[in-house]
Structure 1
Amino acid sequence: MIVLSDQARGYDLGRQLADCPPWAILIERTYGAVPGRRDGYVKQGPLRLATTSARASRRASLDGVHWPEKRLKKRCRSAMAGLIETASAHRGLSIAKARQQGITHILVSVAFPSRSPSAGRPRGPIRLALLQRAFPDCALYALGGITGRTVIRLTRTGLAGVALISGLKPP
C-alpha cells in the first residue's frame, strides 16, 4: 500500500504519517517545496518519499523520490543511487517511459471513479490487469477511487497493490 499526502484537501502530513501502517510507503507531495527535515522520524514507520529532487530528499532524511508523470524527464539517474523511486502514470506509454528510466514501482491512475478534481476516465480492473500483463517486470499500484469495495475488484488483476489519499482515514 502506498499513501499519498494531500495538504490541499486538508490532510495533515503528521497525522497521515501516524496513521500509515509501518509496512506501507508514504509519498509526501510537496508541489515543488523542499520537504522539511524529519529528525524525529522513527525508522520503524513507513518508507517516506517526496516529490522533490534526490538532493532535497537526502537532506530531509527521506527514503526516496516520487516522480509525477510530468516531472519524470527531469530525473537524473546518477543522482538517484541508494534512493527508492516511484513514478505516476496515466497511460501505458507513461509506464513504458518510467520503466525505460529504470523505475519499476508505478502508480497508475485513475483506477475507479474518484472525487479528485484531476481525475479522468477510470480504467477499471480489466484495463489495469491488461497493463500489469503488458509490464510484468513492474509493480503497478492502482490509484483513484480506492475503497474497501474497489480493492476486492482488484484481487485478480496481478497488481502489486493500491495507492490512496483519502482512503486511509478521513480528515
Structure 2
Amino acid sequence: MSMSVEPQSWARRKLVAAARVSAGALGPALPPALFLTDPGRLADPARVAAGLPAGFGMVYRHFGAADRVAVASQLARICRRRGVALLIAADPALAMRVNADGVHWPFRLRQEARQWQGRFALQTVSAHSGREARAAAALPVDAVLLSAVFASNSPSAGAAIGAVRFRDLVHRLGMPVYALGGVTADNAGWIAQSAGFAAVEGMRAFEKAGA
C-alpha cells in the first residue's frame, strides 16, 4: 500500500520508515501499521486518524460507548478521505453501518470470525501468548495482533514477549502478525522485517491539533 508523507516530526519519520519495511513483510493486502483507539489513554481518536498516512489502518474500540455510532461515522469519513483502513472492534453490525473495511475480534470472541467470513475485506484477532496465536491462526482471519511485545502502559498487558521471541513466534506461526504492546517510534523497526505493528500511544506522533 502506498503511504503519503506529510511534513513530519522525527517520530513520524521513524514510524513511516518502519511501516515501509512492515509492508514488505505483510504484503499489499494489509495495512503495515494499525492505530488502536483507547478512550482511557487517548480521548480524541479523530485527531490521530486525521494525521495517519495513507495505507495505514486503525481499529476503533468503543467499549459500548453511548456515542459509538457518531464516533464510528466520523472516523469512517476521515479514514475514507485519507485512504486509511478502518476496523471496528467486536461489532460487525456497526462496521456494516459505517461501511468499515473490517472487524477486529478480541480472543474471547474469536469464533465469531467464522460467522462473518467473507463479509468484510479484513478480519483480525487478538492473542496474548504463543498458544493463543496458534489458535487464532486456525481461524478465517487475515492477521493476528500479538501482545505484549514490549513493556506497555495498558492495564491489561502482561509480561513483554520481547522482540527476539516475537520474531521467532511469527516465523513459526506462518501468517501475518502485528506486534502490539509498547510499540513506539524507537522500537517499531526492531520487528518490522517480520511483522506489522499496532499501537495506541505510539501513534500520537500523527495527532493533528483541531481535527
Give the TM-score category using the shorter length.
Answer: 0.7 to 0.9
Distance 1:79 1:151 in 2: 30
What do you get for the CA RMSD once the two structures are aligned? 2.2
TM superposition shift of 1:96:
2.0
Question: Helix, strand or coil for the counterpart of 1:149?
Answer: coil
Distance 2:97 2:137 in 1: 26
Whether the 8 Å CA contact 1:49–1:64 is kept in 2: the answer is: yes
Q: Does 1:73 align with 2:111?
A: yes
Distance 1:53 1:90 in 2: 21
Stretch moving more, 23-32 or 10-19: 10-19
Unmatched runs of 5 consecutive residues or more in structure 1: none
TM-score normalized by structure 1? 0.86
Aligned residues: 168
TM superposition shift of 1:99:
1.8
Q: Does 1:17 align with 2:49?
A: yes
What one-letter code is carried by the residue in structure 1 that aligns with 2:95? S
Q: Find the counterpart in structure 2 of residue 149 from structure 1.
A: 186
Question: Helix, strand or coil for the counterpart of 2:201?
Answer: coil
Q: Find the counterpart in structure 2 of residue 140 from structure 1.
A: 177
Q: Find the counterpart in structure 2 of residue 84 from structure 1.
A: 122
Q: Find the counterpart in structure 2 of residue 113 from structure 1.
A: 151
Q: Provide closer, same or farther for how the CA distance between residues 155 and 84 of structure 1 changes in structure 2, counting only shifts above 3 A.
A: closer
Q: Find the counterpart in structure 2 of residue 31 from structure 1.
A: 63
Whether the 8 Å CA contact 1:51–1:68 is kept in 2: the answer is: yes
If asked which structure has higher relative contact order (CA below 8 Å, sep 6+), I would say 2
Q: Does 1:124 align with 2:162?
A: yes
Unmatched runs of 5 consecutive residues or more in structure 2: 1-32
Distance 1:143 1:109 in 2: 5
Q: Provide closer, same or farther for how the CA distance between residues 40 and 53 of structure 1 changes in structure 2, counting only shifts above 3 A.
A: closer
Q: Provide closer, same or farther for how the CA distance between residues 26 and 133 of structure 1 changes in structure 2, counting only shifts above 3 A.
A: same
| Higher helix proportion (structure 1 or 2) | 2
Stretch moving more, 27-36 or 115-124: 27-36
Structure 1 outlier segments of 4+, above 6 Å: none
Whether the 8 Å CA contact 2:86–2:102 is kept in 1: the answer is: yes
Q: Provide closer, same or farther for how the CA distance between residues 128 and 35 of structure 1 changes in structure 2, counting only shifts above 3 A.
A: farther
Q: Find the counterpart in structure 1 of residue 37 from structure 2.
A: 5
Over the matched positions of the two proteins, sequence identity in percent amounts to 27
Q: Find the counterpart in structure 2 of residue 97 from structure 1.
A: 135
TM superposition shift of 1:66:
0.4
Stretch moving more, 27-36 or 143-152: 27-36
Q: Provide closer, same or farther for how the CA distance between residues 35 and 101 of structure 1 changes in structure 2, counting only shifts above 3 A.
A: farther
Q: Find the counterpart in structure 2 of residue 47 from structure 1.
A: 85
TM superposition shift of 1:62:
1.0
Distance 1:75 1:148 in 2: 31
Distance 1:106 1:118 in 2: 17
What one-letter code is carried by the residue in structure 2 that aligns with 1:163? A
Distance 1:163 1:10 in 2: 15
Whether the 8 Å CA contact 1:35–1:50 is kept in 2: the answer is: no
